[in-house]
Amino acid sequence: MKKILFLLITTICFQFMATAQPDRWQQGAKYKMNIDMDVNTNRFTGKQKLEYSNNSPYALDKVFYHLYFNAFQPGSNMDVRSQELGKVLINGRQDWDGRVKDRIANLKEDEIGYQKIVSLKMNGVPQPFKYHETVLQVFLTKPIAPKSKVVFDMEFEAQVPLQIRRSGRDNPATGVRLSMAQWYPKMCEYDYEGWHPTPYIAREFYGVWGDFDVTINIDKDYKIGGTGVLMNANEIGWGYDAPGTELKPTTKEKRSWHFIGENIHDFVWCADPEYKHLSYKMPNGGPTLHSIYNFKENNPRNDSAWATVLTAASTALPFIEEHFGKYPYPQYSFIQGGDGGMEYPMATLLVGPGLGTVIHEWMHSWYQMMLGTNESMYAWMDEGFTSYAEDLISKFYNKKSSLQNLKDALQRNPNNKNLAAMIDIVPEDHSSAYASYFNLAKSNFEEPMTTHSDHYNSNYGYSTAAYSKGEVFMEQLGYVIGADVRDKFLLEYYKLWRFKHPNSTDLMRVAEQVSGLQLDWYKEYFVNTTKTIDYKIDSLWEESGVTKIRLRRIGHMPMPIDLQLSFSDGSTEMYYVPLNLMFGNKPAENAGQKRQIMEEWKWTHPTYVVEIKRRLTDVKLVEIDPSNRMADIDRSNNKLELNW
């Protein structure tokens, strides 16, 4: 009996753990790199020791590395693809990335980027390899056995390209000398789907979780910001040992900067002799925030703007952690560099201190740096969810800033009663994302969000799908399952899947577990197809004192319906029509409003009749989805006012 009881308890515990702690094998990497930078030639040499763990159940007879700098050569995949997309016209304008255009084709020999492998050994044995432009294929002389580790020793040399896309040198827009993103040979990801040796065409990244130990030897006058914690801060100074300190003197021509980052999947750094460094330590053991920016001119407004970056970040972090999960790393750096805004572990590159971009890039720490989704396949789970979070955080920060300004103003003008009426000034509606998605849906350029990021037929189609439609996906999910339930789901998703490379199925399973509803249909329609939502109020009539309202589905995507009625006595009532594919109902979202749950609407049926036990003349307003969270592409027929 005890044995049976023990087995029963063990089985229950195992099932609970399987549900609560999803596990999927994933590879591991430990990088130790030492690089020597020549700032005069813009070239560097590097030594890389990579301890690679094959945690898969399969033997590996080959491995792949990314060589991103090789994209910046005339005739490369990135060059030709950019020029081909430039032939696509969107509203009469060329659809290429304005930062790339045809600039790669015009690079001179000393302006191109390259990464060349001088030698490569596995466990001390030289390995044959082949270049595929931005991907290095290594043919292993001995397979890497399942559940084993090997050590790769590599020597390489590289040239930093002119600033074109993400990484590069001498950006005229910022004056930053070196933006070192995608700068080292990086092991490609191998997961349950196999290898992901994605060529560098334009976009997203996928990397192996691991630890980075990086030493950068560079001209002594250069200052560096980047991923990881500076281990020799006492030797370097410059605000890393204590806020406001100067760069410590040295008699050497070059100084060494030693950074360590743990449990991350990439490493970025930037260098400039005229960088300025501000920092702020969050209280109660929180991370240290850094603001590193170009200081070629004594510009107080520039100082103030980059200082505000730290103010905004420190103000927003408690709100972020409450709604999206705890930030687990010891530091984060906002660094002027790159070509716009681009996220990396513990750091982001920013052309300027605009707070919208600052918040967006920082939120990638949650929806890419911690969750590590394959961005090439699920860009909407990265860019879209980040945009969703950015919208909420920006509104929180702006409102909080406005409240503080109002308090200050009220102190100065205590008798001004109009100031109090200005408190609720920031709606949370994601309206710009909806408008952007609606424009795409009505164009000829929309493609399913399952499309690989590099294989969209237009930059417009990709960017709107990934950013705007992805943001709409998350806000609309709140309409489907309830906003409070959606918020609980986001925290549970973070808790269960951070550091585990979730895919879209993993995402939806958590949403289903938290909500108790079936949601496969939602992903199928909104992600896997370009079918649109369009409902209308078809007709109203009265029979024997019962008001009947016929709703019609015009679009091809079915949805549950919130139908709100306003009556002549001033009251309102919500009639909730669940979709039969959900096998359940979302909870009431407005506790102060009367709500009736109707019979489910079968998705096969184009019409549905809502019956109300009140006279038709009592009805003043009928409205489908008064919250405007459902992405109905024609809202003009969602609302009917009755003037009796």
Contact 186, 236 (CB under 8 A): no
Distance spanning both ends of the chain, measured CA to CA: 75
Mean pLDDT, all residues of the chain: 93
pLDDT at 404: 60
Contact 566, 620 (CB under 8 A): yes
Average pLDDT over residues 261-272: 98
pLDDT at 401: 61
SS3 285: coil
Q: Which comes out higher in pLDDT, residue 98 or 411? A: 98
pLDDT at 417: 55
Tell me the C-alpha distance between 19 and 359, whole Å. 32
23 pLDDT band, cuts 50/70/90, is confident
Give the CA angle between residues 92, 96, 99 to the nearest 5°.
Answer: 125
Average pLDDT over residues 488-499: 98
Q: Residue 475, Cβ neighbours under 10 Å: how many?
A: 25
Tell me the C-alpha distance between 602 and 487, whole Å. 28
What pLDDT, in 10s, does the model give residues 200-256?
999 888 999 999 999 999 999 999 999 999 999 999 999 999 999 999 999 999 999
Give domain limits for the chain: 25-204, 389-526, 535-641
Q: Which DSSP category does 586 fall into? A: P
> Can you give the C-alpha Rg of the chain in angstroms?
28
405 pLDDT band, cuts 50/70/90, is low
Q: Please count the residues of the chain.
A: 644
17 pLDDT band, cuts 50/70/90, is very low
Contact 636, 630 (CB under 8 A): no
Tell me the C-alpha distance between 181 and 207, whole Å. 14
pLDDT at 410: 59
What pLDDT, in 10s, does the model give residues 303-362?
999 999 999 999 999 999 999 999 999 999 999 999 999 999 999 999 999 999 999 999
Q: Residue 424, Cβ neighbours under 10 Å: how many?
A: 8
pLDDT over threshold 70, residue 297: no
pLDDT at 12: 40
What is the CATH number assigned to the segment(s) 25-204? 2.60.40
pLDDT over threshold 80, residue 90: yes
Contact 33, 46 (CB under 8 A): yes
pLDDT over threshold 90, residue 425: no
pLDDT at 7: 40
Tell me the C-alpha distance between 268 and 167, whole Å. 9
8 pLDDT band, cuts 50/70/90, is very low
pLDDT over threshold 70, residue 298: no
pLDDT at 110: 98
pLDDT at 15: 40
pLDDT at 238: 98
Tell me the C-alpha distance between 151 and 142, whole Å. 13
Which single residue is written with the structure tokens 């999206």? 324
pLDDT at 20: 47
What pLDDT, in 10s, does the model give residues 372-384?
999 999 999 999 9
What pLDDT, in 10s, does the model give residues 613-643?
999 999 999 999 999 999 999 999 999 999 9
pLDDT over threshold 70, residue 41: yes
Give the CA angle between residues 215, 342, 527 to the nearest 5°.
Answer: 130
pLDDT at 398: 87
Which single residue is written with the structure tokens 């800033």? 401
Average pLDDT over residues 508-513: 98
What pLDDT, in 10s, does the model give residues 70-81?
999 999 999 999
Please give the single-letter amino acid code of residue 334: F
pLDDT over threshold 70, residue 26: yes
Measuring CA to CA, how many Å separate 64 from each of 25, 212, 226, 286?
19, 19, 25, 37
Tell me the C-alpha distance between 473 and 388, whole Å. 9
402 pLDDT band, cuts 50/70/90, is low
